[in-house]
Amino acid sequence: MQKFCSSCGGRVDAALPFQCSHCGERFWANSKPCAGVLVEHRGEVLLIRRAIEPWFGEWDIPGGFVDDGEHPEDGARRELLEETGLDLPVVSLLGMWMDTYDSPSAPVEHPLSLLNIFFLAQVPDDDERPIPALDPHEASEFDWFAPDALPSPIGFPNHQPAVIAAWATTRLTGEAFAPLPARSR
């Protein structure tokens, strides 16, 4: 429920979608954009263990909500930096997956719909394996996983296992990852 119109400040008490009866502004219900990064080094992927609900204690891909006006590529890099301390360019778009922001242990009556956009970042194989500096409020541990030895359980089971499987399949078949789409800013 939204109590006030964010355009005119008038009282509305309405659930999305609605039109403000005071100023006529329309408010739509949309999926929340999220962005994440699969970090790869010597053929293995970095995953972190969630220290927050939903999916507390389960394996996770670094990522989070995209800010207002932020390009998903920048949001993915920012979330990676905030959660792991790693500042890496992204080199490929893995794809987009839908989900909701809830879990059986953290149920929500009207969970947010999520539009999750995932990118690939690669640490050069000649480099030392980076040691993430985790934000302890968000993640309790990290590890690197080969495409044929993935962990479980993986949080957000309606999309993250599919994201990791898409990476693993491409890695195992030796196909090229899709290039980054062009961007205007």
> Which residues of this protein are in contact with Zn ion, per CB under 5 A?
5, 7-8, 10, 20, 22-23, 25
Cβ at position 8, least distance to Zn ion in Å:
3
Cβ at position 7, least distance to Zn ion in Å:
5
For 24, residues 6+ apart whose C-beta sits below 8 A from its C-beta are none
Cβ at position 6, least distance to Zn ion in Å:
8
Residue closer to Zn ion, measured from CB, 14 or 162 = 14
Residue closer to Zn ion, measured from CB, 23 or 178 = 23
Cβ at position 50, least distance to Zn ion in Å:
38
The amino acid sitting at 79 is: E
Does the CA dihedral 176-171-95-72 come out positive or negative? negative
CA contacts within 13 A on the Cβ side of 165: 9
Residue closer to Zn ion, measured from CB, 8 or 131 = 8
Residue closer to Zn ion, measured from CB, 11 or 42 = 11
Q: According to DSSP H, which parts of the chain are helical? A: 72-84, 160-173
What token pair was written down for 19?
A: 């039109």
Rounded Cα distance between 38 and 54, Å, is 20
